[in-house]
Amino acid sequence: MRNVIVIVGAGFSGTVLAVNLLRRPGAIPTEIVLVERGPAMNRGVAYAARDIPYLLNVPAGRLSADSADAHQFLNFARALLPEADGEDFLRRSLYGDYLEDLLGRAERESAPHVRLERIRDEVLDLKPFAPHGIEVRFARRQPMQAARVVLAVGNPPATRLPWLEKLSGHAAVRDNPWDLPKDVQEHHAVLIVGNGLTMADAALALSWDQERVPTLHTISRRGLLPQTQTQFHPCSACGNGEELLAKSHSMRGLLKASRELARKVESAGGDWREAVTFIRTLAPQIWRQLPAPEQARFVRHLQAQWDTHRHRLPPQLAQRLAQMRSSGKLRVNAGRVQRVTAEGNRLRVDWRRRGKRETSSLSVDYLVNATGPDYALARTREPLLQSLRAQGLIVSDALSLGISTDASGACVNARGERNENIYYLGPMLRADHWEATAATELRGHAERLAVHLMR
């Protein structure tokens, strides 16, 4: 008997899971099949090698993919950059190199009865077969039978903006924020829809050539920019979290307790980011304790504020955006786009400023969709997830935050039962855990899932 585990996606989640499976061999021969449809293994979109040196949003000293070795990534970086510090924000492509090296070492050191196979292809569908297996169907190769399949497909693409449907294919529309125009000039105007981390990446890329910086306009509902990272330390004034957990029946009470904690930390000479980081560690427990109406209230009223304080910018990029704003090259707006129409090669954007009734118009040379990942399963553009949802093999949570799973990571099906063959690992775990995007959180899920799968 041979245990075949197929991992769909070789970005952070898929790679770290494969590493843990190689290091935790079970009793029977095991074949780990790592499938990647993109151009490079172990990188995904986040850590791909690009012309522009995008920076990690977290300091090097907090990015280990191994909970047992807190400085693993930092030590890897120092082998190439001897002056690297734990508080440095290093290149994202370097982290891709680290993941590739990590998997290579785990493969070389693995037990003889555990084998890793890398496949460059796209998984289009999964079909259960009797008695307890699952057939994996690919775009370019014959199907494969597996005992378990782990969906580690990474962040989903952004939502399709409804007012762009009629402009599909227009040269000025960039629905993929990584596919930006190369011919942008200083006299051009660009609208970036969204004000989060994806917007910051797009703004950096569009302004990389200092001699040809266009005028960048941004629009989001609230006009909130991500906060800036600082050098801070683990919270020494946060206690054990009992008060926060005690308030986890009401968003009003939880918000009050969180603000009081931030003030307490700052009055002790600390940084409010310490409080946010501490709350993150409690987030899964808090989320599960919140009644459904309170969860919905958070998503509707407070999620945007949480996201801007939780997902922060490296100081270098924050400074760059501040300079662009002061020079007038970056104009941040709060409001809603109502209509976009083509005017030859350009676009006319009609939008309404937040709190205003009158409509304003903006003429731009390019429009970039930088609204960030759309986690709603009902709107997914991924063919595999579309098929699994249609079959009832995976379902969304009530708030459309992600994919419903049980405590082990097994997907819940349309009948509310755990699927013994299909698991999920990645940011769409936020459906049940809320916080499931950072390396520290996902590595923990990967380590626990590896133990479960190898039992």
Q: What is the pLDDT of residues 58-111, one digit of tens each?
A: 999 999 999 999 999 999 999 999 999 999 999 999 999 999 999 999 999 999
CA distance 427 to 435: 8
Pair 325, 301 in one domain: no
User: Is 45 contained in some domain?
Assistant: yes
pLDDT confidence of residue 165: 85
Range 378-385 contact pairs with CB under 8 angstroms and sequence separation of 24 or more: 379/159, 379/160, 380/156, 381/156, 381/157, 381/160, 382/153, 382/156, 382/157, 383/124, 383/125, 384/8, 384/123, 384/124, 384/125, 384/126, 384/151, 384/153, 385/151, 385/153, 385/156
Answer yes or no: is pLDDT of 48 > 90.
no
Within-domain flag for 223: yes
Domain C-terminal end among 334, 352, 369:
369
Residues 175 and 36 occupy one common structural domain: no
Question: How does residue 236 score in pLDDT terms, banded at 50, 70 and 90?
Answer: confident
- Asked if 295 and 421 sit in the same domain, the reply is no
Q: Is 236 part of any domain?
A: no
Q: pLDDT at position 44, please?
A: 79
- Asked if residue 253 and residue 321 are part of one domain, the reply reads no
196 and 334 belong to one structural domain: yes
Shared-domain flag, residues 276 and 316 = no
Q: Are residues 197 and 316 in the same domain?
A: yes
Q: Is the pLDDT of residue 1 over 70?
A: no
Residue 388 pLDDT grade (very low, low, confident, very high; cuts 50, 70, 90): very high
Does residue 342 register a pLDDT over 90? yes
Residue 132 belongs to a domain: yes
Tell me, yes or no, whether 331 and 264 share the same domain: no
- Both 278 and 219 in a single domain? no
Please check whether residues 31 and 141 belong to one and the same domain.
Answer: yes
Contact between 286 and 254 under an 8 Å Cβ cutoff? The reply is: yes
Listed residues 280, 295, 310: the one ending a domain: 310
Look up the CATH number of the domain holding residue 204. 3.50.50.60
Residue 450 banded pLDDT, cuts 50, 70, 90: very high
Range of 349's domain? 162-227+312-369
Cα–Cα–Cα angle for 50, 52, 55, rounded to 5 degrees: 95
Q: Which of 320, 353, 369 is the last residue of a domain?
A: 369
The pLDDT of residue 41: 83
Question: Is 329 inside any structural domain?
Answer: yes
Do both 109 and 34 map to the same domain? Answer: yes
6-15, 34-43, 150-159, 322-331: segment of lowest average pLDDT: 34-43
The domain tally of the chain equals 3
Quickly count: other Cβ atoms within 10 Å of residue 227's Cβ. 17
User: Is 235 part of a structural domain of the chain?
Assistant: no
232 within a domain of the structure (yes/no): no
Q: What is the pLDDT of residue 180?
A: 93
Residue 233: inside a domain: no
pLDDT, position 106: 97
Please check whether residues 89 and 125 belong to one and the same domain. yes
Give residue-wise pLDDT tens across range 247-303.
Answer: 999 999 999 999 999 999 999 999 999 999 999 999 999 999 999 999 999 999 999
pLDDT at 237: 84
Going by C-alpha positions, the residue among 237, 312, 222 that lies closest to residue 275 is: 237
Can you give the pLDDT at residue 50? Answer: 86
